[in-house]
Amino acid sequence: MTLNMILATGLIIATVGFIYLAAHYNFWRSKASKAHPRILMYHSINHHAGISHPDLVVTPANFKVQLQYLKNNHYQFFTMSELIAGQQATSTPVALTFDDGFADNYTHMYPLLKEFNAKATIFLCPEMPKINKLSKQQIQEMQASGLVEFGAHTMTHLNLEQAPDELAQQEIIQSKQHIESITGVACQSFAYPYGRLNERTVNFVKNAGFLCAVTVKKGIEALTNAYMVKRISVLGKTNIVQFHIAMTRGRYRV
């Protein structure tokens, strides 16, 4: 190998490395205003990565590090209904949201929520297949703590974009009523399954009496459209540097 070949190889390796880092650590994105709420999207908090979607499982240890980060950086916790009601005027607001209603939200997430005096919004999907779901008692205990709000996520994790009108409306309304019958309070927040929605879906959710709805679109912005709320996705492999990038810029990777 000549010296030129060695230098050229080194340059290629450095370039590939730089592109990889820039793609997975998006420091180059512009920072979001501190006044805009950060709405984090989680699913399962558990030691064991699930079989079907291991990305969606964050370990309790990592979740604790993330809560510590939020505390150290003076974020204040709100439920989705509190955010929509505008209770966050004086602080850097954050809402922790959990989709689907995994039982580990009680066994692994809730103890840490109490430890940090943090708040969460859990979107329940009462008839979602193939997951270990929260029990009625677990839901009622968390509801009584004042730390957890329960929102709806349809009955069966229906793709609302593709479903016929009648079925879509039925699942949206039924999930709201079902959750209210367990918690005894108004169910005001909604999460679109798979983040799938269209104009028709938004109107169904509004007409059912929900005050806000979250998507899976990534970002940080003012809550100008309460039915198209963007979130910050936190995955099992998200490290704390990437978490910091996401908290300040809305997302950490391309």
- Contacting residues toward Zn ion, per CB under 5 A: 99-100, 193
Q: 93 vs 101, which CB is nearer to Zn ion?
A: 101
Q: 99 vs 149, which CB is nearer to Zn ion?
A: 99
Q: How far is the CB of 160 from Zn ion (least distance, A)?
A: 11
Q: In sequence order, what DSSP letters do the residues of the chain get, joined into one string?
A: --HHHHHHHHHHHHHHHHHHHHHHS-TTSPPPPTTSPEEEEE-EE-SSPPSS-GGGEE-HHHHHHHHHHHHHTTEEE--HHHHHTTTTTTSEEEEEEEEE-BTHIIIIIHHHHHHTT--EEEEE-TT-TTS-BPPHHHHHHHHHHTSEEEEE--SS---TTTS-HHHHHHHHHHHHHHHHHHHSS---EEE-GGG---HHHHHHHHHTT-SEEEEEEE----SSSTTSEEEEE--TT--HHHHHHHHHHS-S--
Q: 99 vs 104, which CB is nearer to Zn ion?
A: 99
Q: How far is the CB of 154 from Zn ion (least distance, A)?
A: 9
Q: How far is the CB of 138 from Zn ion (least distance, A)?
A: 18
Q: 99 vs 252, which CB is nearer to Zn ion?
A: 99
Q: 100 vs 104, which CB is nearer to Zn ion?
A: 100
Q: How far is the CB of 122 from Zn ion (least distance, A)?
A: 11
Q: How far is the CB of 147 from Zn ion (least distance, A)?
A: 21
